Chain A
Amino acid sequence: MTTADVAKCSIVLFVAVAFQQVVLDPISVVGAHPEVMVLLCVAAGYVAGPERGAVFGFTAGLVADLFLPTTFGLSALIWCVLAYGVGVGTSGLVRSAWWLLLLVAAGATAIGIALYAMLEAVLGEPGVLTAYLPQALVVGVAGALVLAVPTFKLVAWALPAPVSEASSRSSARGPNR
């Protein structure tokens, strides 16, 4: 990653945290709100591949954990694995269908939210699974569908795909396309 990439990623993280705190947190539907930070990590894995996505997810998780009174490092662990998984799972896909991005955004966000709740339960808070998870999933997935396109574009600007992956994707589509 170049210095310019790091600067762009820092700007994206800062904007996302501010957007989450100021705009999304007040939108409380049955006690849950959309989560742009999870979507950001999903987008990083999808756009920049597993390795860069994982590093971005880890960093974004540490930043997000600073604003939460829950266990520090939990978001970093889940989001780096999530971004890596998205990167690996979508690396072989031909990304021509418009709905693929929405499918990845919604599905991976749901997995990320569920993983977070399950790890909280493992760490001694089993009540989280029944008290918070259902509404967090519904609102989180709905928010991901609405915010997917601008978030993926923002991450693509900050964290472009590595040259090798980009060229392999274009070659997978065939020489005349």
Chain B
Amino acid sequence: MAASRRTHRPRLTLVLLVLASITIITLDYRGDTKGIVGKASAIAHDALAPIERATDAGFRPIGGFLAGALHGGAIESENARLRSANGALERKVVQTADIRRRLAQLARLDHLPWAGNLPSVAAQVVAQNASNFEATIQLDKGTDNGVEVGMPVVAGAGLVGRVVAVWHTGCTVQLITDVRSNVGVRFGPQGDLGLVAGRGQGRSLAVDLVAPGTPLHRGEVLFTSGLQNALFPPGIPVAWVSSFSSSSSASQESVSAEPSADLAVLSYVSVLQWQPAS
């Protein structure tokens, strides 16, 4: 009897843990735990923030070194190309290029013609992809600076994404390339509508719901539609059309697009203090 109890106890523990997990997932899916989990998540992020800052100087170079080692082949070939091209002068240009790029990004954030009079918060990108199953970035501005969940995030060239989690000193932004991201867009002289959907980091965006025969051209810029209950204000450049095709039997055009903002080299972005209508 005692041996049987010992055998069954781990199974009973597992069943209880699985039931607890399913209950938590169900409550979270229904939105019942958003407040509690949001607060707990903010506390956890805030608790770790000082350690991240304190260890940043020590650990970040290790992460950078390991990342560099993993990309060793590409770096070597790039170095060889640079050496053969222009020697010391070329290296100098490369060293200053990153600084110029950051400055240019910051300067562009000062002149966002499509942001209108919307107040904004400039923020620095401090991390990418908290999980392997989402395309996100983390910023160094949070509720202390007026950032809230749902606010759009833009870079100099266009839309980057929207804030999905926030704590006192930072926030997480879901990029428009994430598979969960959908952005309503308007384009062309007729103001045709479409839906830009993410297909994962480094992949082109899909433009859905474009009626067959809609006039399109390569390079056509897609802007946020700003329709009723839209998640983004109108008129922000989202992407440009990179390819399109149509067949007679298709119910919609097959359109691919590239993000207007270069999401691979983001350093500074701007959080627009705008909230979608509930």
Q: Are B40 and A77 in contact (CB under 8 A)?
A: no
Total interface residues in chain A, CB < 8 Å: 58
Which residues from B are CB-within-8-Å of A89?
none
Q: B63 — which chain A residues lie within 8 A by C-beta?
A: 22-27
* Contact A84 B10, CB 8 Å, known A26-B67, A73-B25: yes
Q: Determine if B21 and A76 form an interchain contact, defined as CB atoms under 8 angstroms apart.
A: yes
Can you list 25 A-B contacts with CB-CB less than 8 angstroms, sorted by A residue number? Answer: A22-B63, A23-B62, A25-B128, A26-B67, A50-B10, A51-B13, A51-B14, A61-B21, A63-B44, A69-B136, A70-B133, A70-B134, A71-B29, A72-B33, A73-B21, A73-B24, A74-B25, A76-B20, A77-B21, A113-B132, A123-B25, A128-B179, A131-B179, A132-B133, A132-B134
Kindly identify which residue among A72, A140, A164 contacts B28, using a CB–CB cutoff of 8 Å: A72
Given A70-B133, A72-B25, A73-B21, 18 additional A-B pairs, CB 8 A: A22-B56, A22-B59, A28-B128, A28-B129, A31-B129, A32-B132, A50-B10, A54-B13, A54-B14, A66-B37, A68-B130, A76-B20, A77-B22, A80-B21, A84-B10, A123-B29, A127-B179, A140-B132
Tell me whether B52 and A22 are in contact (CB under 8 A): yes
Bound: A66/B42 CA distance, A: 8
Q: How many residues of B contact A (CB 8 A)?
A: 57
Provide the bound-state CA to CA distance between A131 and B178, in Å.
9
Nearest-CB distance from A92 to chain B (Å)? 13
B104 at the interface (CB under 8 A from A): no
- Say whether B29 contacts A18, CB under 8 Å: no
